[in-house]
Chain A
Amino acid sequence: MKATKPRLLPLFLSVLKISAFTFGGGYVIVPLMRKRFSEELLWVKEEEMLDMIAIAQSAPGPIAVNTSILLGYRLLGLKGALVSVLGTALPPLFVLTLISMFYSAFRANTWIAALLNAMRAGVAAVIVDVVWTMAQNITKKRRATPILLMAAAFVAVWFLKVNIILVLVACGLIGFVDASLRARKEAA
């Protein structure tokens, strides 16, 4: 697809659609935002998108909301940020208000329960696909530090259950030290 100029309406509709149809919360929504804005619309570079995701995860609050604010601000300034956060918040407001009205009927419906359970397999495949692409982008640069950091961060979060904030702070520090060491080596 050819890159177009970022505009408010497509930004709003894109985040609205992602928020309205994406099951599984921020960790599913954020990869979909990456796909939409850096693969399909080509509005942000892959690297910038990863930066925004990292910043969104280090800040408090829902990750999907944080990412949409960063994305909107980067594309269209303050207006963009507000439009983008509105697009993210409207679908839950609408859907959950409806569900909260028909809460008991919704809960007892076997079809809905079966559909929601079966959709998880598709959700898992979508995340694996996204991680696959993102990991390739890290490994194809053939630098040891990011690859090791990615592996170590995964082991720390998944197997050792280390606090996410701690992992992010440690990775940021290691990245900082690594960059300063390289800068010194280049200067010498």
Chain B
Amino acid sequence: MLLTLYWAFFQVGLFAFGGGLAALPLIREQVVVIHPWLSMAAFTDLVTIAEMTPGPIALNAATFVGNQVAGIPGALVATLGCITPSVIIVLILARLYSAWRDRPAFMGVLSGLRPAAVALIASAGMSIAILALFGEGGAISLHSLDLVALGCFALSLFALRKWKPSPIVVMFGAGLVGAGIKLLFRLP
């Protein structure tokens, strides 16, 4: 059982290109379709929980499934399976990086990848900003604009640019202020 769990998450780690969100369809394939470990409803909850808890989404999902299937040993094994391919492949890439860093051709490739990395983070940021400001529905209109969230967003950004506080303080601050206002005035 533990071996099956390890192998299932090994495959998730090996084929998930593009980070945790890209891993979710692969996890669904492994834990709902191939193995009868979770129902589709439980899987949907898993996605929500993995996204709203801290840490890498794929590891959160692996720990949760592992726990549900085989308790704490299951969680350990699923996490290890998910990490193993990364450790092997990335260590090889890291060696190549330190060996080739000074070669013009490799530098050229990296000079193209750097702006792409910024663009990828920007587009991930856009999806989070839209979710934060317009809610789950995904409709972008003045009607669905969440004014409390907009205020928290603007204040957080201002504080970050001006005083460079720790991001963790900013995130929790925004959460406490936003949730406080909403619960106090019974806003949706």
CA gap between A63 and B80 in the complex, in Å: 15
A:148-178 near B, CB below 8 Å:
149-151, 153-154, 157-158, 164-165, 167-168, 171-178
- Asked if B32 is at the interface of the complex by the 8 Å CB criterion, the answer is no
Asked if B112 contacts A172 (CB within 8 A), the reply is: yes
Contact of B116 among A52, A120, A167 (CB under 8 A): A167
| B residues less than 8 Å from A30 (CB atoms) | 121
| B residues less than 8 Å from A58 (CB atoms) | 17, 93, 113
Q: How large is the interface on A (under 10, 10 to 19, 20 to 34, 35 or more residues)?
A: 35 or more
| Identity of the chain B residue whose Cβ is nearest the Cβ of A22 in the assembled complex | B54
Contact of A61 among B51, B90, B107, B109 (CB under 8 A): B90
Report the interface size for chain B: residues with CB under 8 A from the other chain: 96
| B residues less than 8 Å from A117 (CB atoms) | 178-179
**Min CB distance, B41 to chain A, in Å?**
12
Asked if A120 contacts B157 (CB within 8 A), the reply is: no
Asked if B123 contacts A22 (CB within 8 A), the reply is: no
CA gap between A74 and B108 in the complex, in Å: 20
- Asked if A93 is at the interface of the complex by the 8 Å CB criterion, the answer is yes
- Asked if A147 is at the interface of the complex by the 8 Å CB criterion, the answer is yes
- Asked if A13 is at the interface of the complex by the 8 Å CB criterion, the answer is no
Asked if A25 contacts B20 (CB within 8 A), the reply is: yes
Asked if B83 contacts A65 (CB within 8 A), the reply is: yes
| Identity of the chain A residue whose Cβ is nearest the Cβ of B76 in the assembled complex | A93
| A residues less than 8 Å from B104 (CB atoms) | 179-180, 183
Asked if B131 contacts A171 (CB within 8 A), the reply is: no
- Asked if B89 is at the interface of the complex by the 8 Å CB criterion, the answer is yes
Asked if B120 contacts A164 (CB within 8 A), the reply is: yes
CA gap between A66 and B86 in the complex, in Å: 6
27 of the cross-chain contacts (CB-CB < 8 Å) are A22-B167, A54-B114, A54-B117, A59-B89, A61-B14, A65-B56, A92-B54, A92-B55, A92-B56, A100-B64, A106-B49, A107-B49, A114-B183, A116-B52, A119-B172, A120-B132, A123-B174, A129-B160, A131-B121, A145-B112, A153-B115, A164-B18, A167-B116, A168-B113, A172-B116, A176-B109, A178-B111
